[in-house]
Structures are given as C-alpha cells and as structure tokens.
Amino acid sequence: MTREATNALLKTLEEPPEYAVIILITSNESKLLATIKSRCMKVNFMPISDKQIENYLKQNNLSENITKAMIQSCNGSIGKALKIEEEKEKYIQIEELVQNMKKQDITEIWKGAQVLYDAKENIIPLLEYMIIIFYELLKKEDKICYANGIQIIEQTKQRILANSNYDMSIDNMLLKLWEELF
C-alpha cells in the first residue's frame, strides 16, 4: 500500500461510520503497519481439509483427473483448487515430466518441460507442485535423491523470486534434478 492509502485506511479505522463493519483480509500480516493492526481484531481461518476439497470438487463435477497431489497443493483453499482445476493440464504435464526424468536424457527432458518455460508469470505454484510430487516420492521410496530434488526446486524458487534469468534458472533446475535422479 502507498503511504497515502495507509493513512486513509488508518483514518477510516480510527473514525469508522456507525453503519459499517470493516473487514481486512491479508495473507501476510507482517506487511500491515502496527498502527493498523492495533485497531483491528484478528480472526484466523483454518484451512479446509483435503477431504472437504475433494468432496467439493466431486459435488461440482470438477474432480475428473484431479490427483491427490493436486489436492494437497491447494493448501486448504477452494480458490486454489478451482485454479488448479482450470489449469490441470499443466499439472498433469508436470507429473509426467517428473516421472520421465529417470527414463529420458536431458535434451528430451528440456523439450518436455515446455510447460515450465511457458509459465513464467505463474511458475511458483507449479514449482510448489513439483515439491509435493517429490515429497510423495520420498515418502514412498525413502531415497535421498528426492529430498535433494526438493532442495533444488526450493533454490530455483528463490532464484526466480530474486529475478535471476528465468530460462537459465529452469535449465539449471532440470539439469540438477536429472543428475540427481539419473
């Protein structure tokens, strides 16, 4: 928020109209000024369970081709579940990419990873999904390569968030993952 917007909000919170109930929603409370937080009552919302999300998707005929890993990546949010359902082809391609890493050479993996290169504006949820897939593989097979894969993906997320060269970050991640799994 700009300084002017913050001051206007603070003024509104200090002298609210009698008829109004003001609800502030944030995913990062630390970004709010202490003076704003001091004038608010904090209410925490619990995430929706994976089972409830799955039931919601079934009731609305949206559960076709939605995997357990996709539901886990919703982090208790119906909104994220709907977004994943809209883009489930990308998520399916990510699953196939991870499954094929052990079977293909690196050039084939780079070709098959076009979904990552095309998702520049929305890459973080896809990388988080890759982490969930690696975590599930780690639980199933208990191999250190999957734990190392999670670390590689986390490092890639940090590089991208720090504005590193996008394509080089994805190239590097895929090469390191392939080396780790091969």
Q: Alpha-carbon distance 50 to 74, whole Å?
A: 8
Instruction: Read off the pLDDT of residues 111-154 as tens digits, 9 standing for 90 and up.
Output: 889 999 998 888 999 999 999 999 998 988 888 999 999 999 99
- Please determine, for residue 182, whether its predicted confidence score (pLDDT) is greater than 80: no
**pLDDT value for 167:** 93
**pLDDT value for 163:** 92
**pLDDT value for 12:** 87
By the 8 A CB rule, do 120 and 166 touch? yes
* pLDDT band with cut points at 50, 70 and 90 for residue 157: very high
* CB neighbour list of residue 103: distance below 8 Å, 6 or more residues apart: none
**pLDDT value for 15:** 86
**pLDDT value for 161:** 93
**pLDDT value for 124:** 92
* pLDDT band with cut points at 50, 70 and 90 for residue 8: confident
Instruction: Read off the pLDDT of residues 16-63 as tens digits, 9 standing for 90 and up.
Output: 888 988 888 887 888 888 888 888 888 888 888 989 988 888 888 887
More confident site: 75 or 129:
129
Burial pattern 47-75, b for ≥16 Cβ within 10 A else e, equals ebeeeebbeebeeeebbeebbebbbbbbe
**pLDDT value for 166:** 94
**pLDDT value for 62:** 80
Write out 24-66 in H/E/C secondary structure.
CCCCCHHHCCHHHHCCCCCCCCCCCCHHHHHHHHHHCCCCCCC
* pLDDT band with cut points at 50, 70 and 90 for residue 171: very high
Q: Alpha-carbon distance 114 to 132, whole Å?
A: 20
